[in-house]
Structure 1
Amino acid sequence: MTSPFVQKLRHGACLTEEDALLLDQLARPVHVAQAHHDILMEGDPPHTLTLILEGWACRYKQLDDGRRQIIALFLPGDLCEPYGILPHFMDHSLGAITAIRYARIRPDEMRALARANARIEEALWWDMLLQSAMQHEQTVSFGRRLAAERLAHFICELRLRLALVGLADETGFELPLIQSQLADAMGLTAVHINRTLMELRAAGLIELQRKQLTIRDPEALRNLAVFDPVYFHLDQRKDCNG
């Protein structure tokens, strides 16, 4: 079975089965963390790259008064830091949203593999490009998108990210975030999130029940968000059959 890490990276380069095996060997052994458990705390010295294999995690900052901002969500197949380098200390915390399975990868091993294999290097650079592009879109959302547009864009982006690793289709996906976590991720209050969810539901765009988000009208949701997936750079990969 192809790992989500390999599934994702195959959208950035033409990886062979041998490449996939090399990447999977990096992601061993596998560790586990329970929901709401911090993997790394702000100020900790990180020694390895964290790769999410299963479940949802997040990068977050917490203010002294307890207010929290989720800076990034990490899904299966996501590296939580750039592939080749680590800071001397964490300037944010890394926490599990759900129960997760993850791997700890030494940066020198990742760099050595990338130097020795041009396809893997290309895929890892594409992954860094995608992470940067998503941060740009988040900045636009916080600065200019209205609440309904922001939430619609968030849903469209999550759906596409999960689809890249086979965890979503056009009709929806499992969404384990509670409303307070959505608020932390989107820079809104939980009350505002609740009101905005009701607005999208009343418009016939989505339904959210028992952590399952159903997209009732994908085209209308994309139009509301003005969602253009071009920033995923999915055209980076050359024709793998050529």
Structure 2
Amino acid sequence: MVDEPSGSLPTGSALARKLDHHVRLNGDERATLDRCLGRSVRRLAARTALVEEGSTPSEMQVLLSGWACRYSQQPDGRRRIVAFYIPGDICDFDVFLMTAIDQSIASIGPALVAGLDRGAINELALTQPRTSQGLWWESLVSAAIQRAWTINVGHRSAKQRIAHLLCELHTRLAMVGMVDGGSCDFPLTQADIADACGLTSIHTNRALQEIRTLGLIALQDQRLDILHETALADLGRFNPAYLQIRSAQPPGPKSMIPIAV
């Protein structure tokens, strides 16, 4: 893990692009958000811990580039992934409310991560109402994603689970401008997909081959191409409504209550 120089974050962060789906930030608000994100930046190698289970971090982690996952290591050594994080995602909304983190978070490939401490959160909450409201929306979307994952793992076949996961990740990447002509970076291994979908490696390999054979995706060299988006969504019973993709609306009269007291 390498600390980056203060202010090393480029302007136009993925988090700001995500918030634009909830509130429309002006130039000053974007600059303030980028300044807060640039105060504490770390560069991580692949498969490196951001947060360890049982630890008490002093900062909220925001993924600036790369991918990460949240997981629980079972007593028998098996890993269960409960979330994937892409650029612009806040990895641990609950960091200031819990006495200790209940699951670990680790990078999947090389990643750049910003830390928002209590001071930065309070600055945004008290002085930037639209940014604050956008962060509140993002916390609700994060909870909605968890509910969707619960349904996906509990009520669908292996092929449907994987199709749903691919659709969700592709849609989330598109929301931050990281899909080009249906193609996007995809650093997940089959083991990652299996651990996220509650499947064995054998079932995951077989299901991916079936989806490929249907001509719905191409997956090679850490790139995912969705060839027939509607058909893949139908297969996975994917409805993106829970991701709250919408045009930014004027904020209401109240901003998010400061959470880092």
* Shorter-chain TM-score above 0.5: yes
1:227 aligns with 2:241: no
Partner of 1:95: 106
Q: Secondary structure at the match of 1:158?
A: helix
Aligned counterpart for 2:132 among listed residues 107, 110, 121: 121
Partner of 2:17: 7
Equivalent positions of 1:57-206 (< 5 A) are: 57-82=68-93, 85-169=96-180, 171-206=182-217
Mean Cα deviation higher: 142-151 or 132-141: 142-151
Q: Secondary structure at the match of 1:154?
A: helix
Q: Compute the displacement of 1:169 (Å).
A: 4.0
Mean Cα deviation higher: 110-119 or 156-165: 110-119
Identity, in percent, stands at 37
Partner of 1:42: 53
CA distance in 1 between partners of 2:188 and 2:246 (Å): 30
AA in 1 matched with 2:58: H
TM-score (norm. length: structure 2): 0.87
CA distance in 2 between partners of 1:89 and 1:111 (Å): 21
Q: 1:169 to 1:140 in 2, by over 3 A?
A: farther
Q: Compute the displacement of 1:121 (Å).
A: 1.6
Segments of structure 2 that go 5 or more residues without pairing to the other structure are 1-10, 252-261
CA distance in 2 between partners of 1:43 and 1:239 (Å): 40
TM-score (norm. length: structure 1): 0.94
Q: Is the 8 A contact 1:51 1:104 kept in 2?
A: yes
Q: Secondary structure at the match of 1:214?
A: strand
1:138-162, CA deviations, whole angstroms, 9 ceiling, x for partnerless residues?
0100111111111111011101110
Aligned counterpart for 1:22 among listed residues 21, 29, 32: 32
AA in 1 matched with 2:149: Q
Q: Secondary structure at the match of 2:167?
A: helix
Q: Is the 8 A contact 2:62 2:113 kept in 1?
A: yes
1:26-74, CA deviations, whole angstroms, 9 ceiling, x for partnerless residues?
1123211111111221111111111110101111100122100111111
Q: Compute the displacement of 1:84 (Å).
A: 7.8
Q: Secondary structure at the match of 1:104?
A: strand
Q: 1:59 to 1:119 in 2, by over 3 A?
A: same
CA distance in 1 between partners of 2:181 and 2:204 (Å): 23
Alignment RMSD (CA, Å): 1.7
Mean Cα deviation higher: 209-218 or 133-142: 209-218
Count of matched residue pairs = 240
Runs of 4 or more consecutive aligned structure 1 residues displaced over 3 Å after TM superposition: none
